[in-house]
Amino acid sequence: MPANKNALIRYKTIDRCLRNTGRRWTLNDLVDACSEALGDLENKSDNVSVRTVQGDIQMMRSDKLGYNAPIVVYDHKYYRYSDADYSIMSMPLSQNDYEVMQEAVDMLRQLEGFDQFSEMSDVVSRLQDKLSISRNNRKPIIHFDSVPDLKGLKLLEPLYNYIVRKQTLKIVYQSFNAKQPSEYILFPYILKEFRNRWFLFGSRAGDMMLYNLPLDRIVSVEAVDDILFCENPDFDSEHFFDDVIGVSKNINDTPRRVKFWASPEQSKYIKTKPIHRSQQLIEENPEDGSCLFQIDVVINFEMYSVFMSYGPGIKIVSPPRAVSFMKEKMRLASSLYGQV
pLDDT value, residue 271:
93
pLDDT value, residue 1:
39
Is residue 189 within 8 Å of residue 202, measured between CB atoms? yes
pLDDT value, residue 2:
42
The amino acid that residue 268 corresponds to is K
Is residue 214 within 8 Å of residue 195, measured between CB atoms? no
pTM: 0.64
**Separation CA 284–CA 296 (nearest Å):** 19
Q: In what order do the strands lie in the sheet with 280-284?
A: 280-284, 291-297, 256-262, 314-318
pLDDT value, residue 320:
95
pLDDT in tens, the chain (340 residues): 344 778 888 999 999 999 998 899 999 999 999 988 887 666 556 688 999 999 999 999 998 877 889 999 999 999 999 998 898 887 666 565 666 666 666 666 655 555 555 555 666 666 666 666 556 666 665 666 666 556 777 788 888 889 988 999 999 988 888 888 889 999 999 999 888 788 999 999 988 999 999 998 998 898 998 999 999 998 998 899 999 999 998 888 899 999 999 999 999 999 999 999 999 999 999 999 999 999 999 999 999 999 999 999 999 999 999 999 999 999 998 888 875 4
Bridge partner list, 214? 199
Bridge partner list, 197? 194
CA dihedral angle for residue 211, residue 157, residue 150, residue 217, rounded to 10 degrees: 30
pLDDT value, residue 134:
57
Is residue 200 within 8 Å of residue 152, measured between CB atoms? no
Is residue 152 within 8 Å of residue 198, measured between CB atoms? yes
Bridge partner list, 222? 170
**Separation CA 182–CA 168 (nearest Å):** 17
